[in-house]
Amino acid sequence: MMHPLNLSLRVSALLLSLGLATTACTHDGNDPGVEYAPEMYESIPYDPLSQTHFNTVNSFGINQRTPANGTVPRGKMDYYSHIPKDSVGIAERTLRNPYPYTKANLEEGKVLYTRICSHCHGEEGAGNGLVGVKYKGVPNYTVGAYKTMNDGHIYHVIQWGRNRMMPHGSIVNPEERWKIAMYVRVLQRGEGPDALSKLIAKGPTSTANDSTEMTDATNQAPVGQAQAGTGSETPGQGNTKATNGTAN
């Protein structure tokens, strides 16, 4: 014969299991039931943009981790060049526009320039935009050294800024910077936006006779750098034509 205490324990265990089963296996679809230790299979989320408690796991006590050195966000490859912001001379000697001077590229450059640059530099590149008139110091593309800036120089200044001009590298991507540079080259002619239609009417090869580089990358030679096998204009003394070294 079963002991009364043992019987009562078994009955209690049975009733408890029935109660748990009834609670967990509910017919109400909106009731998830009872979960035992849910933290073991559902991780606690951390909001990377807010911090309510000091995070003892991540460094600096923050939720959002600092990216590893040298990593590049997806879609941001080549968004910033490795030329320092104070080395515009290096940029104008080494950077080459990879896009040809076609009608589509020039027209897109005009649109981008009008949206982003004209408020300071003016529609004709004379530095007479509404902001330029008020704050002064905005260069005129059609005079002095500004008239001979090449694509690499303009690209670098768009990215990093110069003097009173703030950096625009986070506003326009590399392709857009090159196309803006193309249109700036048009304004350097001193004919305003009308020069664009003239260049397009003559065809994309019309830029080949410009005083500075206005061709695609395949036709642009380095500026201010020695080129192997190229004769020097100042060979010095002697009757032998000097060259700038040999190709490696």
- Which three-class secondary structure string do you get for 51-75? CCCCCCCCHHHCCCCCCCCCCCCCC
177 neighbors 119 (Cβ within 8 angstroms): no
More confident residue, 128 or 57: 128
Q: Is the pLDDT assigned to residue 226 strictly greater than 70?
A: no
Residue 17 lies in a domain: no
Q: Which range of residues forms the domain containing residue 212? A: 96-219
| Residue of 112, 109, 97 whose CA lies nearest to 152 | 97
Q: What is the pLDDT of residue 27?
A: 64
Residue 100 lies in a domain: yes
Phi first, then psi: what are they for 231, rounded to 5°?
Answer: -70, 140
More confident residue, 5 or 207: 5
| Residue of 167, 162, 123, 122 whose CA lies nearest to 145 | 162
Residue 214 lies in a domain: yes
> If DSSP codes are grouped into helix, strand and coil, which group holds residue 165?
strand
Maximum pairwise Cα distance, the chain:
128
Mean pLDDT of all residues belonging to the chain: 73
Query: How far is the CA of 199 from the CAs of 4, 117, 164, 176, 187, in angstroms?
Result: 106, 21, 31, 20, 11
Q: What is the pLDDT of residue 53?
A: 64
Q: Is the pLDDT assigned to residue 101 strictly greater than 70?
A: yes
Under the banding of pLDDT at 50, 70 and 90, the label for residue 116 is: very high
Q: What is the pLDDT of residue 199?
A: 73
Q: What is the pLDDT of residue 150?
A: 92
More confident residue, 49 or 23: 49
More confident residue, 193 or 92: 92
Q: What percentage of residues in the chain have a pLDDT greater than 70? A: 67
Taking phi over 0 as left and psi of -120 to 50 as alpha, with beta for the rest, 157 belongs to alpha
Q: What is the pLDDT of residue 115?
A: 94
Residue 140 lies in a domain: yes
Q: What is the pLDDT of residue 20?
A: 55
Q: For the chain, how many structural domains are there in total? A: 1
More confident residue, 67 or 15: 67
A 10 A CB-CB count for 21 gives 11
**Dist CA 146 CA 184 (whole Å):** 10
Residue 4 lies in a domain: no
List, for residues 147-193, the tens digit of each pLDDT value: 889 999 999 999 999 888 899 988 899 999 999 999 999 999 888 88
Under the banding of pLDDT at 50, 70 and 90, the label for residue 35 is: confident
Residue 245 lies in a domain: no
**Dist CA 125 CA 142 (whole Å):** 7
Q: From start to end of the chain, where are the E strands?
A: none
**Dist CA 48 CA 39 (whole Å):** 20
Residue 224 tokens read as 């201010």
Q: End-to-end CA distance of the chain: give it in Å, rounded.
A: 103
Q: What is the pLDDT of residue 114?
A: 93
Residue labelled with tokens 């078994």: 10
Residue 127 lies in a domain: yes
More confident residue, 122 or 8: 122
Residue 79 lies in a domain: no
Q: Is the pLDDT assigned to residue 235 strictly greater than 70?
A: no
Element (H, E) at 160: helix 151-160
Under the banding of pLDDT at 50, 70 and 90, the label for residue 229 is: very low
Q: What is the pLDDT of residue 18?
A: 61
More confident residue, 71 or 51: 71
Find the mean pLDDT for residues 212-241.
Answer: 39
Residue 178 tokens read as 């090159």
**CATH, residue 111:** 1.10.760.10
> If DSSP codes are grouped into helix, strand and coil, which group holds residue 29?
coil
